[in-house]
Amino acid sequence: MKRVAVVTGTTSGIGYYIASYFKNEGYCVVGIQRGKAKHVDLNIEADLSKINTIPKIIDTIDDHYGRIDVLVNNAGKMDFEEYKDNSTVDLNMVMPIQLAEIAIHYMEDGGHIINIASISGITGDSELPIYSATKAAIINFTQSMAKRLAPRIRVNCISPGFFNTNLVEGDTPAELIEQVPMKREADPSEIIPVIHMLQVSTYMTGANIVIDGGLSL
């Protein structure tokens, strides 16, 4: 039976390329997001900020495949009005933690969880303190789960900097790009070499790989 990769937030940006990578590697890809993703084998439309949807999502995956080999927690939000409700905390922190906690029961030896965090979780962001706190939590959760689940399941993390996605509306301001030593933002496809490295480097667990053009230096 084919291996199964579950990826959240696959309709565009980083998630789109991650789902495509696993599809090209021969996995059955499950995409979980608000809209419809046409490039996956099983599309599950769900509001991942509503935590009570997670058991139903897992039941759907179990009904179709009965297993999970890779989980990529990619879905998230950056909201400059993040204090108005709990959706940033629920989507960026609570959802990936709960999804991982349930998914591990469907993983055999060799399973892999990849969490997408942010350099804001390392350096902090004065404009987005809640966003930064949720990403810091995901980095720490990665390390804690890596210790708990080794050697059966690996857990790793990626912390991107400025990527050309629709995480926020509009273009990244030029003055912010100027702060990046590489003097540009990344294309979403540039996440794939890191994904591939984590997949094939089976001695890596608990790692947080920074890909930010040197911004956090």
Distance CA 147, CA 63 (A): 30
Confidence of residue 83 (pLDDT cuts 50, 70, 90): confident
Distance CA 210, CA 189 (A): 15
* 39-51 pLDDT, tens digit each: 999 999 999 998 8
CATH of the domain at 170: 3.40.50.720
Residue range 20-42: mean pLDDT, rounded: 94
The number of distinct structural domains making up the chain is 1
Token pair listed for 139? 């980095």
* Residue 166 CB neighbours (<10 A): 10
Q: Which residues are catalytic?
A: 131
* Amino acid 165: pLDDT: 82
* 140-172 pLDDT, tens digit each: 999 999 999 999 999 999 999 999 887 766 678
What are the φ and ψ backbone dihedral angles of 155, each rounded to 5 degrees? Answer: -135, 120
Let me know if residue 77 belongs to a domain. yes
| Residue-averaged pLDDT of the chain | 94
The stretches of 68-170 forming alpha helices (DSSP H) are 87-89, 95-103, 120-123, 129-149
Least-confidence region, from 93-97, 173-177, 199-203: 173-177
Let me know if residue 217 belongs to a domain. no
**Residue ranges making up the domain that contains 188:** 4-211
Let me know if residue 14 belongs to a domain. yes
Distance CA 82, CA 100 (A): 24
Let me know if residue 31 belongs to a domain. yes
* Amino acid 51: pLDDT: 83
> Residues of the chain with pLDDT > 70: what percent?
99
Let me know if residue 169 belongs to a domain. yes
Let me know if residue 156 belongs to a domain. yes
* pTM value surpassing 0.85: yes
Answer whether 29's CB lies under 8 Å from 16's CB.
Answer: no
* 93-121 pLDDT, tens digit each: 999 999 999 999 999 999 999 999 999 99
Let me know if residue 216 belongs to a domain. no
Distance CA 10, CA 30 (A): 9
Burial class (CB in 10 A: 0-12, 13-18, 19+), 18: buried
Token pair listed for 140? 């720490």
